[in-house]
Amino acid sequence: MVDGALKALRAHREKLLYLVVGGWNSLFQYASFSLLYYLLHGVLFSSVILFLSYALSSINGFLGFRLIVFRSNGHPVFEYLKFQLVYVPLLAINMILLPLLLAYTPLNAYVVQALFAVLSVVLGYFGNKYFTFRGTGRAPDTMDRS
């Protein structure tokens, strides 16, 4: 039973780590947005607040995905640019939808961002796996394979 559990963990290591790191980054981004929105919504547009929180969380997310999930040995600057190519379109969609949803639905900014966080984790996984960190060197697996 333990061997089966270890095999399952090894087989799905990347996905499980992505959920943990993606969950952490989503929580980090959501907390950043929530704090900035609470403090600044009276003086800045929601899209500007969203961009500021994205700038903080994108660095956090990139480092987590690069070092923990995909353990890439590729060039960090090129990978960061590719990482941005995955997330900037999501940010742009979010920056457009957030003010629209705030204006035309009963949802508040906190609910909208929570919903968008789930979508970002799912879409981000595929973008990172098959684009950002695809074909880059990977650090050796340190899990015991005995």
- Report the alpha-carbon distance of residue 91 to residue 39 in Å, rounded: 21
Mean pLDDT of the 113-119 span:
87
- Report the alpha-carbon distance of residue 120 to residue 54 in Å, rounded: 12
What is residue 136's three-state secondary structure? Answer: coil
Helix (H) or strand (E) holding 30: helix 13-40
- Report the alpha-carbon distance of residue 18 to residue 29 in Å, rounded: 16
Q: Is 144 left (phi over 0), alpha (psi -120 to 50) or beta?
A: beta
What is the pLDDT confidence band of residue 143, given thresholds at 50, 70 and 90?
Answer: very low
Unique residue bearing structure tokens 């559990």: 5
**Per-residue tokens: 115:** 């919903």
Q: How far from the centroid of its chain's Cα atoms is residue 96's Cα?
A: 19
Q: What is the pLDDT of residue 117?
A: 85
pLDDT tens for 1-34 read 777 767 777 778 888 898 899 889 888 999 999 9
Q: What is the pLDDT of residue 144?
A: 43
